[in-house]
Structure 1
Amino acid sequence: MHKLRTIIVDDEPLALNLLRAKLNKVPEIEIIAECKNGREAIEKTMDLAPDLIFLDIQMPGVDGFGVIKKLQSDIVPLVIFTTAFEQYALDAFDVHAVDYILKPIDEERITRAVSRAIVRFETEEETEHKSRIIGAIDTINERENSASSSQSSQGQSSLGQNKGNLEHKIIIKDRDDITLLKQADIEWVDAAGDYCCVHAQGVTHIKRSTLKNLLDDLDPSIFKRVHRSTIVNLNYIQKVIPHTKGEYFLKLGEYDQVKVSRNYRDVIKDFLSDW
């Protein structure tokens, strides 16, 4: 029997202890790490490459959604959220096939979620995990701000008329806000299906766009594709770390680390040869 290598994450010690105790009774689960915040969850996921993560949503600092946004699509494991969210958010999870356990946690809900995780582990591509979650987040944001959607569309239309003056900026509609993001501030971009996670100045913006379309709008002299799902701004590379099988990791800031696949390693070699 294959055991799912699992990380559990919750900022409340009692909740973490309860989750551990219940998962220890599930023979298909092997707990390999416990984390008390989002930063630890990101670091442990990068280091240990788990099969599954039980992830609390409401945490100070980097919350559960923030953890997913910060990870490249092929690094995101299967995710089961533990949450006390309202029903409208759970409806969005159901639509996008995102697994969750409502708090207070009971063994029946854990058993059901683990059974689903085993099936998905055996049948799904890794890149599907992040795409489903980002889609659910986008749906939640839309429902929270449905009353102001007409005003948002009017503002976006007005900005579109002046697009000729915005060649060095990216337009991102996030909830009822429209952000004009300077390209120079963008550190890296990760694709998740029909969405892109645009990471800039410690904030992750969700933009509805394919990676190819977004790449066409970015300055090709500083933005390079380093993975089938990832673009980096060369100006933010702080360290290049060799990895196995000809791959690399790029350290882009205090917390962000991006994997370079073998197919794109020449991009980094050319970048290093210019120094």
Structure 2
Amino acid sequence: MIKLRTLIIDDEPLALKLLGSKLKNIPEIEIVAQCNNGREAIAATIEFEPDLIFLDIQMPGIDGFGVIKKLQTEILPLVIFTTAFEQYALDAFDVHAVDYILKPIDDEHIQRAVSRAIQRFETGETRENKPKIIGAINEINLRERRADAHENNQTDKPTSLDNIERKIVIKDRDNITILKQSEIEWIDAAGDYVCIHTDAETHIKRSTLKNLLQDLDPSIFKRVHRSTIVNLNYIQKVIPHTKGEFFLKLGEYDQVKVSRNYRDVIKSFLSES
């Protein structure tokens, strides 16, 4: 029998306790930790490397969406969101094949979500799940911006193209976003997509990591994992890990694993600093 090592996150103690008690009755679930906020969730995911997380979307500080964006593809488990969002927003999750449970949580919806998670785990659908989740998040954010613009009778101003600094172009349907490379903190890949992380947002671009690397400034962007590129300018701390691996602390919450095959890149960076 499959046993999914599971992490549950909710800032409401009663909701956390209720979800934990329900999951303990499901034999395929093994709860490895419980967290009260986004910061704890990121740290626990890195430490325990669970197969599945139940993640509350609406939390103060780093919300559920923020947790997903800050987790490297290689350590991102399967995700089941718990949420009180209105149905119009949840359509985005259906489109992008992301599991969610509406609050108040009931046994039937938990069992449905767990069954889907088991099916995806058995078929190996884990590492390529991140672009789908980010896509759902961006779709929700886009709908909210459109609703606000309609309410205020305003439209977004076009992005300025005056700066001649090296840039990355991201096309999403009819929208084109132009990112300065100096604003990109790190990039991780899943299948034919890459997740480009800046301080303000995570963008999805259809590209392989290898092809994108050719467009990046080689003096500041280095590959540290088969699925991860970092901007050296954002490294704040190098944290030793097991078996000769490292974690790079890139911001207040972002940590990226450096595999053994790429550790010489970091050693070289440290010797030059």
TM-score between the two structures when normalised by the length of structure 2: 0.85
1:96-245 equivalences in 2 (<5 Å): 96-145=96-145, 155=158, 159=161, 162=162, 165-170=163-168, 181-193=179-191, 195-201=193-199, 203-210=200-207, 211-245=209-243
Native 8 Å contact 1:42 1:70 kept in 2: yes
CA deviation map 1:206-245 (0-9, x unaligned):
2434244543443210111112321111123233333344
Instruction: Give the drift of 1:146.
Output: 5.1
Instruction: Give the drift of 1:170.
Output: 4.7
Q: Which moved more, 1:119-128 or 1:72-81?
A: 119-128
Native 8 Å contact 2:39 2:62 kept in 1: yes
Give the partner amino acid of 2:20. Answer: R
CA deviation map 1:16-75 (0-9, x unaligned):
111111111111111111111111100000010011100000111111111000001111
CA RMSD of aligned residues (A): 3.0
1:252 aligns with 2:255: no
Judged with a 3 Å threshold, the aligned counterparts in structure 2 of structure 1 residues 108 and 80 are, in CA distance, closer, same or farther, namely: same
1:13 aligns with 2:13: yes
Find the aligned partners of 2:204 and 2:106 in 1 and give their Cα distance: 36
The count of corresponding residues between Structure 1 and Structure 2 is 267
Find the aligned partners of 1:200 and 1:146 in 2 and give their Cα distance: 22
Instruction: Give the drift of 1:113.
Output: 0.8
CA deviation map 1:107-163 (0-9, x unaligned):
0111111111111111124312212201212222333345779x66x935x73xx5x
CA deviation map 1:161-217 (0-9, x unaligned):
x5xx4224556689999876543343222234555443344x333243424454344
Find the aligned partners of 2:166 and 2:131 in 1 and give their Cα distance: 27
Instruction: Give the drift of 1:105.
Output: 0.3
Give the partner amino acid of 2:43. Answer: E
Q: Which moved more, 1:52-61 or 1:258-267?
A: 258-267
Give the partner amino acid of 1:237. Answer: I
Find the aligned partners of 2:192 and 2:92 in 1 and give their Cα distance: 17
Native 8 Å contact 2:93 2:136 kept in 1: yes
1:49 counterpart residue number: 49
CA deviation map 1:76-105 (0-9, x unaligned):
101100011122222111111101111110
Native 8 Å contact 2:165 2:181 kept in 1: no
2:37 counterpart residue number: 37
Structure 2: 5+ residue stretches without partners: none
Judged with a 3 Å threshold, the aligned counterparts in structure 2 of structure 1 residues 145 and 256 are, in CA distance, closer, same or farther, namely: closer
Q: Which moved more, 1:262-271 or 1:24-33?
A: 262-271
Instruction: Give the drift of 1:269.
Output: 3.0
Native 8 Å contact 1:174 1:206 kept in 2: no
Q: Which moved more, 1:59-68 or 1:123-132?
A: 123-132
Work out the percentage of aligned pairs sharing the same amino acid: 74
Q: Indicate the SS of the match to 2:11.
A: coil
Instruction: Give the drift of 1:260.
Output: 1.4
Find the aligned partners of 2:4 and 2:94 in 1 and give their Cα distance: 23
Find the aligned partners of 2:18 and 2:272 in 1 and give their Cα distance: 53
Find the aligned partners of 1:145 and 1:97 in 2 and give their Cα distance: 22
Find the aligned partners of 1:74 and 1:104 in 2 and give their Cα distance: 32
Q: Indicate the SS of the match to 2:202.
A: strand
Larger proportion of helix: 1
Judged with a 3 Å threshold, the aligned counterparts in structure 2 of structure 1 residues 84 and 104 are, in CA distance, closer, same or farther, namely: same
Give the partner amino acid of 1:102. Answer: L
Native 8 Å contact 2:165 2:180 kept in 1: no
Give the partner amino acid of 1:265. Answer: R
